[in-house]
Amino acid sequence: MDTSRQVGDGTVYKHYMKSMGWFLATSALFFASLWGFFLNFSTIWLTYWVDDINAEHPVHSYAYWAGLYALLQICALISLFLLGASIWIVSIKKAGANLHQDILRTLFRAPLRFFTDTDTGVTTNLFSQDLNLIDTELPDAVVSTLFSITQVIGQMAVMLTSSRYLAISFPFLIALLYMVQRFYLRTSRQLRLLDLEAKSPLYTHFLDTVRGITTLRAFGFIPDDIHKNARLLTSSQRPSYLLLMIQEWLNLVLNVVVMLLAVAMTTLAVRLHSNSAFAGAALYSLLSFGENLAGIVLFWTNLETSLGAIARLKTFNETVKPEDRDGETTVPPEQWPQRGVVELKGVSANYAVEDRDSAVTNLALRNIHLMINSGEKIAICGRTGSGKSSLIALLLKILDPISATAENIWIDDLPLHRLDRSVLRQRIIAVPQEAVFLPDGSTFQANLDVSEEATREECEAVLAAVGLWKFIEERGGLDAGMSASTFSAGQRQLMSLGRALLKRSIRKQKSGTNTKHGGILLLDEVSSSVDKETERVMQEIIRTEFKDYTVIAVSHRLDMIMDFDRVVVMDTGEIVEVGNPVVLAREVESKFGDLVRAGNK
């Protein structure tokens, strides 16, 4: 079991203060100290005022005492305002933005296996509930905790003015409070973490329902899904209910402690004939002492439990290692890969963390030998799970080869394992199976030219080439807002192909017009959700616009495969056949021929 769930982790405080800035954190502590001093010293000031006005010869006038008392109260209010401003106004914005940026950077740099092994609800929980706690509950807990601590310290000092013998009870009081909070804090901290974690399955179920709502309706699974949602909702609320119960227990215990302290102080004041003014001030402080005492434990516990969100983000940043590896420092020339030659010499790859047991048995790609020449058009086909998309992911360094074969991949005479990942993905043009768009409301031009490197004329030319310009012009042109639902499935793929065309044009400008312009184009099932006419348009664009490029396309559409120079047939992560698609389709014992005949039935 993680001991930090029970006793906490002190480094979380440091992490939070670092996220808001050390100067801001120190200033908040200073303002809280000033607030406690000015507020409680004003109570002491009243006792001096009463003693002076009851004397036969008062030393100072009413104006003097009232003026300084008002000054103390004003200074207390200013200190409280500065404390609130530093936490609620400045810290929320700064700490929240820094922590969000940290986990976003970690997520962007996470390896592919993180996304395959981690529930989407867990990641969603980090960016929703945890960050919401940091922006809402945590600042309140910080201010309330500082408020209560400084108040109690000041009130304890005021009560000592009634009877110094009361100081004897303070060590016992502190020990008792420590034991109470230790028991309460251990329980509440774990309940708070359970509260955070119990919502992850609910979020995952909700996201899965949204994605598969049509299938659920078609098969009549809606009643079962509603029942499952209710069950997950009930489970997610149990920790919150138990947390409220132990908070009520805490209030009861602390009220009893304050009652005993009041009895002790009153007894000492009567028996020892304490100064009536100081005794009155002490009793006045005791009225709110119980509330503030309960506040210390309660707000400190809320602070600790709210810091659970910080702890989860900190753990996320520390445990999710970046996909970048040592030695990936090679930055190729701007025109690379100019020839587009790809060579794989016995490459194997695995989605899971590499170990002795899984390195051989659970390979996504196994002993891949393939030579792709400059300008060659290669189609990759095979049944579901055969490793087609894994091969594309391997070339983009989304999927890493096992260490024993890491040096066996070369692109244009450069070893893939030495290339900088971000540069590699900028230089190779890739079109995914499902087009991805910016958030709703972004413009057509921003979705087409994501890198913001092209002119309006170039964007219009690309859209005209893929047959979308008239459609976009009717909806307001490049500057009009759009969403993914604006396009049909086929139009979304054409838009994605338009991005590839625009990137090719930009690469050509950077490389220079006098040199032969080539490169690598990767296509992953781009025609899987389009009609025959859209597929024909896409084939024509690939044939004419990328004629000098090496094209590697994953496809199950036989008409599209027949247009390629060679076809690579894969099965269970291995290459089982390579050859001309027209020739292989005619052979009786050909694996590709079997796929063709099965598709024609």
pLDDT on residue 225 = 92
Confidence of residue 280 (pLDDT cuts 50, 70, 90): low
- Looking at the structure, do residues 252 and 389 belong to the same domain, yes or no? no
Query: How much is the pTM?
Result: 0.73
- Looking at the structure, do residues 159 and 35 belong to the same domain, yes or no? yes
In a domain, 5, yes or no: no
491-512 tens-digit pLDDT: 999 999 999 999 998 888 877 6
Confidence of residue 424 (pLDDT cuts 50, 70, 90): very high
Is residue 15 within a helix (H) or strand (E), and if so which, with residue range? helix 11-20
Render the burial of 386-407: b for 16+ CB within 10 Å, e for the rest: bbbbbbbbbbbbbbbbbeebbe
In a domain, 117, yes or no: yes
State how far the Cα of 588 lies from the Cα of 600, in Å rounded to an integer: 15
- Looking at the structure, do residues 96 and 149 belong to the same domain, yes or no? yes
- Looking at the structure, do residues 176 and 96 belong to the same domain, yes or no? yes
State how far the Cα of 148 lies from the Cα of 428, in Å rounded to an integer: 59
The total of structural domains in the chain comes to 2
Confidence of residue 178 (pLDDT cuts 50, 70, 90): confident
- Looking at the structure, do residues 118 and 181 belong to the same domain, yes or no? yes
Q: Are 338 and 519 in contact (CB under 8 A)?
A: yes
CATH number at residue 38: 1.20.1560.10
Domain-terminating residue out of 258, 286, 319: 319
Domain-terminating residue out of 271, 304, 319: 319
Beta bridge partners of 522: 430, 552
Q: Which of 163-172, 208-217, 559-568 has the lowest mean pLDDT?
A: 163-172
Q: Are 308 and 196 in contact (CB under 8 A)?
A: yes
- Looking at the structure, do residues 244 and 346 belong to the same domain, yes or no? no
Tell me, what amino acid is at 569? V
Mean pLDDT over each residue of the chain, to the nearest integer: 85
State how far the Cα of 561 lies from the Cα of 563, in Å rounded to an integer: 5
In a domain, 34, yes or no: yes
Q: Are 144 and 295 in contact (CB under 8 A)?
A: yes
Residues 31-54 have a mean pLDDT of 84
Residue 147 has pLDDT above 90, yes or no: no
Q: Which of 142-156, 172-186, 459-473 has the lowest mean pLDDT?
A: 172-186
549-594 tens-digit pLDDT: 999 999 888 878 888 999 999 998 999 999 999 999 888 888 888 8
Instruction: Tell how far CA 596 is from the center of its chain.
Output: 45
Q: What are phi and psi of 256, to 5 degrees?
A: -65, -40
Characterise 443 by phi-psi region: left (phi > 0), alpha (psi -120 to 50), beta (else): beta
- Looking at the structure, do residues 198 and 76 belong to the same domain, yes or no? yes
pLDDT on residue 342 = 95
**In terms of Cα–Cα distance, which of 466, 555, 554 is closest to 504?**
466
- Looking at the structure, do residues 308 and 368 belong to the same domain, yes or no? no
SS (H, E, C) 546-588: CCCEEEEEECCCHHHHCCCCEEEEEECCEEEEEECHHHHHHCC
Beta bridge partners of 330: 419
In a domain, 461, yes or no: no
In a domain, 229, yes or no: yes
CATH number at residue 393: 3.40.50.300
In a domain, 308, yes or no: yes
332-352 tens-digit pLDDT: 988 888 899 999 999 999 887
pLDDT on residue 162 = 56
CB atoms within 10 A of CB 410: 16
Q: How far is CA 356 from CA 30, 360, 399, in A?
A: 56, 8, 18
Dihedral angle over CA of 71, 72, 74, 75, nearest 10 = 110
Residue 415 has pLDDT above 90, yes or no: yes
Both tokens of 72, joined, read 């103390």
User: Which residues, other chains included, contact 169 with Cβ-Cβ below 8 Å and sequence gap of 6+?
Assistant: 261, 264
350-409 tens-digit pLDDT: 887 654 444 455 788 999 999 999 999 999 998 888 899 899 999 999 998 998 898 999
Say which residue, 565 or 517, is predicted with more confidence.
565
pLDDT on residue 356 = 41
In a domain, 412, yes or no: yes
Instruction: Tell how far CA 66 is from the center of its chain.
Output: 54
pLDDT on residue 177 = 74
- Looking at the structure, do residues 307 and 361 belong to the same domain, yes or no? no
Residues 320-324 have a mean pLDDT of 88
**Half-sphere exposure for 101 (CA within 13 Å, toward CB):** 8
527-544 tens-digit pLDDT: 877 888 888 888 899 989
Q: Are 302 and 158 in contact (CB under 8 A)?
A: no
Residues 117-125 have a mean pLDDT of 83
3-state SS assignment for residue 344: strand
What percent of the chain is modeled with pLDDT above 90? 37
- Looking at the structure, do residues 273 and 365 belong to the same domain, yes or no? no
Q: With both helix axes pointing from N to C terminus, report the angle between 456-465 and 489-511 in degrees, rounded to the nearest 10.
A: 130
Q: Which of 214-223, 275-284, 384-393, 545-554 has the lowest mean pLDDT?
A: 275-284
- Looking at the structure, do residues 283 and 358 belong to the same domain, yes or no? no
Which residues span the domain enclosing 428? 342-434+518-600
Alpha-carbon torsion 51, 53, 59, 61, what sign? positive
Instruction: Tell how far CA 528 is from the center of its chain.
Output: 31
Beta-strand pair 574-579/566-571: antiparallel
- Looking at the structure, do residues 299 and 411 belong to the same domain, yes or no? no
SS (H, E, C) 442-494: CEHHHHHCCCCCCCHHHHHHHHHHCCCHHHHHCCCCCCCECCHHHCCHHHHHH
Cis-peptide into 337, omega within 30 deg: yes
What percent of the chain is modeled with pLDDT above 70? 89
In a domain, 331, yes or no: no
Domain-terminating residue out of 319, 354, 378: 319
Work out the end-to-end distance of the chain between its first and last CA atoms, rounded to an integer number of angstroms.
57
73-120 tens-digit pLDDT: 999 999 999 999 999 989 998 999 999 999 999 999 898 888 888 888
